[in-house]
A = this chain, B = another copy of it.
């Protein structure tokens, strides 16, 4: 993993902890996305930073998975796997700053690789295609808005 051994223990230094939180949250979201892509499993991850910010990852969407989870629990309340660290339920008071930023992104831009494969002969054609695609998208957006205003 890194230069030193990991030591799963609370990091005391605030700024180091923040950096680690960001890095590991990204890693966690990426793993969740891979689990989704590879195994066709629906996955949701929610993380609250000490500052109280909420970060969520979910495919197809966080809220739909939460609903589904709640329903599953109703049906069979024994689903939950309580894996909890001993230090767990302890503190967690630090942040109640209610400026929740539901940030996102697990990393994953799979088209990166596709783009890198493009050669000189293709890159121009692709750009043109992109322009057309964008027009299409804008039109689609208008169509949706028009439908919405008809409700």
Contacts and interface: CB of A to CB of B under 8 A. Distances in A.
Interface of A: 6, 8-11, 17, 20-21, 24-25, 27-29, 31-50, 54-66, 68-70, 72-73, 75-76, 79-89, 91-92, 94-95, 97-106, 108-112, 114-127, 129-130, 132-134, 136-137, 140-141, 144, 148
B86 A111 contact: no
Given A41-B48, A111-B98, A137-B130, A55 B28 contact: no
Contact of A46 (B37, B38, B66, B140): B66
A99 B132 CA distance: 15
Nearest to A76: B100
B58 A49 contact: no
B9 A38 contact: yes
Contacts of A141: 123-124, 127
A144 B119 contact: yes
19 contacts: A24-B35, A27-B31, A29-B81, A41-B47, A46-B66, A61-B86, A61-B121, A62-B69, A62-B85, A63-B70, A66-B70, A75-B100, A76-B100, A79-B101, A92-B110, A95-B114, A98-B114, A102-B114, A112-B136
Contact of A38 (B11, B80, B97): B11
